[in-house]
Amino acid sequence: MNKNKLDWGNLPFGYIKTKMSFFANWKNGEWDDGKLTKKHSVKLNECAGVLQYAQTCFEGLKAYTTEHGDIVTFRPDLNAERMENSCRRLEMPVFPKDRFIEAVLRTIEANKDWVPPYGSGATLYIRPYMFGSSSVIGVKPADEYQFRILVTPVGPYFKGGVKPIKVRISDLDRAAPYGTGDIKAGLNYAMSLHNIVDAHKNGYAENLYLDPATHTYIEETGGANIIFISKDGKLVTPKSNTILPSVTRRSLVTVAKDYLKMEVEERKIDKKEIGNFAECGLCGTAAVISPIGEIDDHGKKIIYNEGKQEMGPYLKKIFDTLTGIQMGRIEAPEGWIYTIL
C-alpha cells in the first residue's frame, strides 16, 4: 500500500506492509549482528520449533509524532526487560536489552515516513518478536532462533475511540496457576482466541478473566489489564502473579500518584467488589485506556460512570495526562521518552 494514499484518521488496527523490518539470528550460541530488510516474509522448515511447540514470545509498543514534530517512542526499556523474562521462561536466548532498544530505534527511523502525523489519532505500532526457527521433533527447545521487529501504522484498537465498551466475566481461563500468565508468550493469546470470537458473536468487546486457582479475584482480559476507580477517587488495580505486567498500567499508576496526586491501591480485587467502583477501564499499549461501561456477570449487569457514553472524569484525567506525556504536551519523567528524529 502506498503511504501517500493512507487516510491517517481512519486507519484500522491491522497490518500494513511498511518499508523495512529488522531481524537477527541466534546460531551456535550467539546472536549475529542483525540487519534491516525490505523482505517481510519468513522462511521456515516445516518442523520449526515455533510451528511444533509454539516456542515464541512478543512485545508491543508504539512510535508517535509529538506536537513539536518529533518522532518518539515510549519506554522501550521496559519492553526489553519484559521480553527478557519471557525468553527465560520459554528457554529462549535473551536478546540483550541495549540491542533491543537500538533495534527498535533503528526500525522506527527506517520507517519514519510511516509514523502517522500528530493529531491524526493514529500511531506506528511496533512488534518485536522471537521464535524457535530450527527443526525440532522431540519436545525440547529449538537450537536456533530469530528475533524480528515489524512496524505498521494503526488506528484505535477498539472502534469508536473512547466510547465505553461492554465486557463479560468468563468461565474459562486465559492462564494456569503458576503457569505463563505473567509473560508475553504467543501461546497465552492462542488460548484466548476461541473465547474472544465467542464474546464478539454475543456482543461483548472482551472477556474478563478471574484468577485461575479459585475463580474469585479479578485478573485481566485477553489483551489488556483492567483498572478501577473507587467512589472516593482511588485508582485500584488487580495484584496477581498470573497477569501480564503491563507497561501502560505501570505508567498510569505513576501518572496517578505523581502527576494527579491520587491514592493508588494495587491489591486483590474480589469479584463481589466490582459493583462498588465508579469507573472501570482496560489499559494497554494498543488502547491506552478503553473505558468499560458495563460488565456482564452471568446476567447481572454492573454499570459504570452512571451509564454515560463517555470516559469517566478520573480515567479521563489519567488518560489525558499519559497521552499528553507521550505526545509531548506534558513533560515526561526522566527516561520515559526516546526521541528518534
Question: Using an 8 Å Cβ cutoff, are 248 and 227 in contact?
Answer: no
The DSSP 8-state label assigned to residue 5 in this structure reads G
- Give how far the C-alpha of residue 228 lies from the chain's centroid of Cα atoms, to the nearest Å: 18
Confidence check: pLDDT of 161 > 90: no
Q: How far is CA 172 from CA 168, 195, 211, 215, in A?
A: 11, 8, 10, 9
Single-letter residue type at 326: Q
The two most distant CA atoms of the chain are separated, in Å, by: 60
- Please identify which residue in the block is written with the cell numbers 521518552: 337
Number of neighbours of residue 260 by Cβ within 10 angstroms: 14
Q: How far is CA 133 from CA 36, 177, 294, in A?
A: 18, 29, 43
Q: Which residues contact 204 (CB under 8 A, 6 or more apart)?
A: 166, 167, 168, 296
pLDDT tens per residue, range 168-211:
999 999 999 999 999 999 999 999 999 999 999 999 999 999 99
What's the confidence (pLDDT) of residue 262? 98
DSSP letters for 108-136: HHHTGGGSPPTTSS-EEEEEEEEEE-SB-
What's the confidence (pLDDT) of residue 1? 55
User: Measured between alpha carbons, how far is 327 from 335 in angstroms, rounded to an integer?
Assistant: 15
Q: Which domains does the chain have, with CATH numbers?
A: 3-154 (3.30.470.10), 165-322 (3.20.10.10)
pTM across the whole model: 0.95
Confidence check: pLDDT of 240 > 60: yes
User: Measured between alpha carbons, how far is 126 from 145 in angstroms, rounded to an integer?
Assistant: 20
pLDDT tens per residue, range 217-227:
999 999 999 99
What's the confidence (pLDDT) of residue 2? 58
Which residues are identified as catalytic? 184
Q: Which residues contact 186 (CB under 8 A, 6 or more apart)?
A: 54, 56, 57, 58, 129
